Structure 1
Amino acid sequence: MDELKQLRGLMKEETFKGHGFTNKMRKNILNEIHSKRSKSFTYNKKPILAPLMSFLFVAACLSLFVYFGGTQLGLFDGNNASAPFYRYQAKDRPESLGTEYKFLTKAPFEVTEVTTKTSEDSSGKIEMVTLKGKEKQTIRLSFQSIDPSEYLTLSQDEVKVGQSKGSYYESEGPAKVSRLIWIEGDTIKYEMEYMPGGSVVTLSKKDMIKMAESFR
């Protein structure tokens, strides 16, 4: 481009004198040299940086949205959306439980009704507590002292509740029933079952373990 600028400065009318150029030839050469831009140097300048930065910004925002949204919904760890948990003040803890058993402190719904029942099987007495919510969501809890020498088969999906061994099971279908059994200190067996009732909230294995670990 510097050479072209210099050439434009040199190509005055007197440059052509005495070299055999006709008037037409001189005019054509001067017009070409003094034009704003030679066609051979013409190129398209397209602003590519701004669109590229915009694309990268949008892509980054979408990635963050998908990641945090997926994490919140539990899509990246194989679970459905985690249920909200309410702090449960166990004021209706059955007296029959005494101090022998722990009791939950978190529930996936606001408890509106509590009922209790005592039954018995071959291993001994079972204390049962049923918690219900506004939409007929139900948690059934059972508490039982067992003989440490008694062999119990936990045949479902093996899990850990804290340091205690347990098993998890869930039924198929929209009205999924989730069940968790675990044994503490080889002497206490806890069983917890959740049914959604009229609620759309189902509990995953992760949710059930979270609730079980709230027992105090």
Structure 2
Amino acid sequence: MDELKHLRGLMKEETFKDRGFTNKMRENIMNEIHSKRSRSFTFNKKPILAPFMSFLFVAVCLSLFVYFGGTQLGLIDGNNASAPFYQYEAKDRPKSLSAEFKFLTKAPFEVAEVTTKTSEDSSGKIEWVTLTGEERQTIRLSFQSIDPSEELTLSQDPVEVGGSNGSYYESEGPAKVNRLIWIEGGTIKYEMEYLPGGSDVTLSKKDMIKMAESFR
């Protein structure tokens, strides 16, 4: 700004004498120098903080809504994306399954087929139920009455299922398998195994426990 003021002082009428300037040229130069065009060197200062804070507030609110909404729907579980669970009605319980056993009421897929069989080991009779989905997702369930005095060793990762002791195992790789075993009242042994089949739905330990705790 000081240079511009100095230039204005120098640009007197005599400055243009004998310099080859026409009257029109002198007039234009004098108008430019002595005008208020110095305003072009100022910035249009618009308040940017308020719009930024508004945007930040909306973004935070949206993030919280997505997180808590996903948690309530079972889509977000800590760092894991949990599978959606479908209600499995009591009427779908296999008729061959003994009344002493509970049966699951939540499954991570819509069940397309149910098969049953029985087998036996040193602890006695085992009843098996296999649930299969449209993409070959599979849940294998085993039900067994055991002697309370029998000491069973649960050697995998110890967990708790609705107050009952259990163990959890999860394999790695493309042929992933989740397995959960728990014993209720010292007399009923449940085992549940999940295989994703051709689907991309994998389960976490929390998912498996959630499914086990749905047994009614």
TM more than 0.5: yes
Partner of 1:215: 215
What is the Cα deviation at residue 94 of structure 1? 3.0
**Equivalent residues in 2 for 1:91-130 (5 A)?**
91-130=91-130
Q: Distance in 2 between matches of 1:90 and 1:175?
A: 31
Partner of 1:61: 58
| Cα distance in 1, alignment partners of residues 61 and 179 from structure 2 | 35
The letter for the 1-side match of 2:59 is L
- 1:193 maps to 193
Match of 1:52 in 2: 49
Q: Quote the Cα distance in structure 1 between the aligned partners of 2:65 and 2:174.
A: 26
After TM superposition, give the deviation of residue 148 of structure 1 in Å.
1.0
Matched to 2:76, the amino acid is G
Residues 64 and 180 from structure 1, CA distance in 2 versus in 1: closer, same or farther, beyond 3 angstroms? farther
Tell me the distance in 1 between the aligned counterparts of 2:108 and 2:168: 17
**How far off is 1:53 after superposition?**
2.2
Q: Partner of 2:111: helix, strand, or coil?
A: coil
The structural deviation recorded for 1:133 is 0.5
Residue in 1 that maps onto 2:151: 151
User: Which amino acid in 1 is paired with 2:45?
Assistant: K
Structure 2: 5+ residue stretches without partners = 1-35, 37-41
How many angstroms apart in 1 are the aligned matches of 2:138 and 2:212? 15
Structure 2 equivalent of residue 180 of structure 1: 180
Deviation digits for residues 117-169 of structure 1 (CA, Å, limit 9, x no counterpart): 10111111110000001011000000011111111121222111111111111
Relative distance call for 1:68 and 1:143 in structure 2 (3 A) is: same
CA–CA distance in 2 between the matches of 1:188 and 1:211? Answer: 17
Q: Residues 69 and 158 of structure 1: is their aligned pair in 2 closer, same or farther, counting only changes over 3 Å?
A: farther
Give the direction of change, closer, same or farther, for the CA distance of 1:65–1:135 in structure 2 (3 Å limit): same
Aligned residues: 174
Query: Root-mean-square deviation (CA), in Å?
Result: 2.5
The letter for the 1-side match of 2:147 is: D
Q: Percent identity?
A: 72
- For 1:172 and 1:61, how far apart are their aligned partners in 2? 40
- Per-residue deviation at 1:51? 1.5
Correspondence for 1:24 = none
Q: Distance in 2 between matches of 1:124 and 1:66?
A: 53
2-side partners of 1:56 and 1:158: how far apart? Answer: 48
Q: Structure 2: how far apart are the matches of 1:149 and 1:63?
A: 56
Q: State the SS of the aligned residue for 1:96.
A: coil
- Which one-letter code corresponds to 1:209 in the other structure? I
TM-score, structure 2 normalization:
0.71
List runs of 5+ in structure 1 lacking aligned partners.
1-35, 37-42
Cα distance change, pair 70–126 in 1 and its aligned pair in 2 (3 A): same
